[in-house]
Amino acid sequence: MTEQQLIKKAQRGATDCFSQLVASYQLRLYSYLLARCAHYQEADDVLQETFIKAYQYLNSYNPKWQFSTWLFTIARRTIAKYQTQNQQHQTINDEDWISNQNPYEIDRENIWQLIKKQLKPKSCDVLWFFYVEQYSIKEISQIMKQSESWVKTNLHRSKIKLSNNSALELMLEAH
């Protein structure tokens, strides 16, 4: 069954079809959320909330857009809301975390945590969608609700800012 067929059946109440959609996107969304969240539990909570919202608003999905774009938009909004509500619980001092990182100990799992410390959330999202999800500039502009030129400019500025961090430079050279 195609993705669009699963969506149509899920919109008509077939929960097993929605479960298949969840299974096909769960890992990608979770990876994205782990890169944005301070703790695994936070990523778990936001992932669950994202799929709850997706199910609640499934009938508002427009098939002219990719389903993944729609889901990532929900996830992006959900994490922003969640982090605003839970901002007072942050326990890591960002400057200490960055200065204590040994450039040779940075790996693929925590490079996104380091990037998150260096850039604003929107910039992290643009990098994630471009490099990890491999979305086009047009798709990213749809998710971010920004112009394509904004996305291009943001990518360029983020790369420049990250190139000033020697730990990230070493990591990016290794990959």
List the pLDDT tens digit at each of the 175 positions of the chain. 899 999 999 999 999 999 999 999 999 999 999 888 878 888 999 999 999 999 999 999 999 889 999 999 999 999 888 877 766 444 444 444 344 444 444 455 567 777 888 888 899 899 889 988 899 999 999 999 999 999 999 999 888 888 776 555 555 554 4
* Number of independent structural domains in the chain: 2
Residues 87 and 101 in one domain: no
* pLDDT value for 110: 65
Residues 122 and 133 in one domain: yes
Residues 135 and 165 in one domain: yes
CATH code, 48: 1.10.1740.10
Alpha-helix runs per DSSP H in the chain:
3-11, 15-36, 40-56, 67-85, 94-99, 108-118, 121-127, 137-144, 148-163, 166-174
Q: Which of 70, 91, 112 represents a domain boundary (last residue)?
A: 91
* pLDDT value for 103: 42
Residues 5 and 80 in one domain: yes
* pLDDT value for 169: 56
* pLDDT value for 36: 85
Q: Could you list the residue range(s) of the whole structural domain that residue 76 is in?
A: 1-91
- Are 119 and 107 in contact by the 8 Å Cβ rule? The answer is no
Residues 5 and 84 in one domain: yes
* pLDDT value for 87: 62
* pLDDT value for 47: 95
Residues 13 and 44 in one domain: yes
Residues 29 and 75 in one domain: yes
